Amino acid sequence: MSRNFGFWAVIFLNVGIVGIEIFYGYISNSIALITDALHNFGDVVAVVISFIASIFARKSPTSKSSFGYLRAEMMATFVNSFMLILVMAFVLYEAIFSLFTPKEISGSIVIIVASVALFANGVSAYLLFKIREDKHDLNVHSAYLHFLADSLLSFSVVLGGFVIYFLQIYLIDSILSIIFSIYIIYASLPLLKKSFYSLMDIEHRVDIEKIEVAILEVENVKSLHDVHLLQPSLKHSFFYGHIVVEENLTLRDIDFLIGEVEAVLSKFEINHSVIQPESEKHLKAPLLKESYSETL
């Protein structure tokens, strides 16, 4: 399946579903339908951003952008999760308010519209699954899981519609909206945190101390200092560090030594490294730079 076709099919299919759910959610007084629509809209935005990010992420580095656009993926994740949390917080407020001002809801409309959304979410998940099979793209895999979760939410709205239709328990609509909103906010917070930390370069999935222990086991490496770890995307991990080596090594020896260090780093799934060999003058330098506050 064409990657672009899969993306566009998911986008157009779900834009239509969002419009239908918002329209019929409004005329049927169903906050659950509107909640499902807004969540679907958030996922449409995520797919659009992921599509754009995947295009930029494949661009080659240039003289003005030496890293290319590797951070596009994390930027997309941050923007999407942040906006989704804001929208769901508003929906949560409306749902709680509606508990005290219940309105009559058309159960039949909720059942029909939510069933259509369930079908659309299922098709979207399948299309993204096929793209994922072809490309092994973690970004697409995340979108696939989102639409899989959307299918579950739509199914819950269908069940809520049956409760309204047969039992006239209108509060179930607000209760489902509250549960959905809390769940979506809870599920989005880790993505927001991870993408923010990645953009700020303040967290990495690998423990620096473990890397230090492994590198110091390499023969002729006496110490490691001024280390930097970056994770600009889910697929890339960068390492920058200085190693103190034995004084009597030739340039050929140092080249071989750096290759051994790079082999160690590859075991930590680090796929780009810059290693600077230095003399014993720097033997007592700290593993991490103590401060960046000095003026140049």
Taking only the tens place, the pLDDT of each residue in 119-129 is 999 998 888 88
| Residues in contact with 270: Cβ distance below 8 Å, sequence separation at least 6, in sequence order | 206, 229, 237, 238, 239
> Which residue in the block uniquely carries the two structure tokens 């076709």?
5
Q: And the tokens for 106?
A: 């058309």
Integer Cα distance of 95 and 82 in angstroms: 20
**168: alpha, beta or left? (left if phi > 0; alpha if psi -120 to 50):** left
CA distances from 111 to 24, 43, 91, 108, 154 (A): 11, 22, 20, 5, 10
pTM: 0.74
Question: What is the share, in percent, of the chain residues with pLDDT greater than 90?
Answer: 35
pLDDT in tens, 11-37: 899 899 999 999 999 999 898 888 888
* Mean pLDDT, range 264-291, rounded to an integer: 88
User: Comparing 110 with 232, which gets the higher pLDDT?
Assistant: 110
Amino acid of residue 134: D
Side-chain-side CA neighbours of residue 110 (13 Å): 31
pLDDT at 295: 46
Q: What is the rounded distance in angstroms from the CA atom of residue 220 to the CA atom of residue 243? A: 10
Position 292 confidence tier, pLDDT thresholds 50, 70, 90? low
Q: Which pLDDT belongs to residue 1?
A: 58
Task: Quickly state the pLDDT bin for 296 (edges 50, 70, 90).
Answer: very low
Domains assigned to the chain: 3-200 (1.20.1510.10), 208-282 (3.30.70.1350)
DSSP secondary structure code for residue 157 in this structure = H
**Helix or strand (DSSP H, E) at 254:** helix 251-266
Which pLDDT value is given to residue 115?
95
The answer to whether residues 114 and 163 touch, using CB atoms and an 8 Å cutoff, is no
